[in-house]
Chains A and B, each alone.
Chain A
Amino acid sequence: EAGVAQSPRYKIIEKRQSVAFWCNPISGHATLYWYQQILGQGPKLLIQFQNNGVVDDSQLPKDRFSAERLKGVDSTLKIQPAKLEDSAVYLCASSSSGTDLYNEQFFGPGTRLTVL
């Protein structure tokens, strides 16, 4: 079974530029998550989708971050404009259904963003 795919793996931009990350979850997984992992910290949930609807985006900085999952499969996370403090690894994860913790989250390798 193919895992969660993310691209690009690395991205370097200057502050105030925009950037987008792409995630392809495991086939058939209805739930998709985006996490931000700042160096020296654990992952922090940014947004959770159930199919193409948002379940929770309470920790997403909506003034600059946006995410979509138009057809309930792939997802993109965008930052516009980027700030220095956005430098982090952005992890995508997916799980088979619902918000129940019995459904294990499977993580992609992440995209490492450096904002200069």
Chain B
Amino acid sequence: AQSVTQPDIHITVSEGASLELRCNYSYGATPYLFWYVQSPGQGLQLLLKYFSGDTLVQGIKGFEAEFKRSQSSFNLRKPSVHWSDAAEYFCAVGRDNNDMRFGAGTRLTVKP
């Protein structure tokens, strides 16, 4: 069965520091992988997606993610975090829009 695990419920980083959010998945075939961000009172916004090809994917707002098939991981990174990045981040996996599975999310707090 397909599933997504985000091991960190809550992460706190200082503004300007680097960030890595972890995502591990279980899927029977080659998955499509996504990262979404949800700011308070807002809907989910797609940061980036991986379908195939280059395993390092660039997204919006300076985020990137790397697909590692051997580790079943798709970790999200940002070299320098801004206060406006404070939000909830969701990893998702699936092959169709009605087949998507979301992780439980990681809440990011940014310290001044």
Please report A residues at the B interface, Cβ cutoff 8 Å. Answer: 3-4, 31, 33, 40-45, 48, 55-56, 91, 93, 95, 99-110
Contacts and interface: CB of A to CB of B under 8 A. Distances in A.
Contacts of A100: 96-97
Interface residues of B, number: 23
A43 B90 contact: yes
Contact of B32 (A3, A33, A45, A101): A101
Given A55-B98, A107-B44, 16 more contacts: A33-B98, A41-B105, A42-B90, A43-B102, A44-B102, A95-B97, A99-B97, A99-B98, A100-B96, A100-B97, A101-B49, A101-B51, A101-B95, A101-B96, A105-B46, A110-B43
Nearest to A107: B43
Contact of A104 (B41, B46, B104): B46
Secondary structure of the A contact surface, majority rule: loop
Nearest to B91: A42
